[in-house]
Amino acid sequence: MNLRFLLFFVVLLMGSCKKGADTPDGGYPKEVTIEYKLTTVKGSLSTAEMVGYTNESDGRTTLTNVSLPFSKTIKRTVKFGDMPTLSVFHTNTGGACSIKMEILVNGKVAKTQTEETTDHLNGAMVYPFE
């Protein structure tokens, strides 16, 4: 009798442990739209010497002499723990400036930060899929 109860309990427990949206890797892998955005908030910076971002194949794309504001949208399949990144660099900002950096996932802001400087702009951010 106890063995049947134990087997029933084990089967019940295993059946309730299926992956779902509330488990760490529930719903992965999944296809998402990622948008990278850079916007000048303060100052007259209209070009960034370098902009880098994680591309569709999880590699790194680096662009030079990029006009601001900047926006790039990609579609890709992500796994739990993937970390798309966005970076911006400029050596002489011509004075005080600030740049708003954003990573949007499926049209919603997933991460945002503002980089402020009076000389060299060097910003980077990462959004982990959890």
Q: What are the tens digits of pLDDT across the range 76-119?
A: 999 999 999 999 999 988 889 999 999 999 999 999 999 999 98
Q: In what order do the strands lie in the sheet with 47-54?
A: 60-67, 47-54, 85-90, 121-126
Q: In what order do the strands lie in the sheet with 30-42?
A: 70-78, 30-42, 97-105, 108-117
What the chain holds in terms of domains, given with CATH numbers, is 27-126 (2.60.40)
The pLDDT of residue 7 is above 50: no
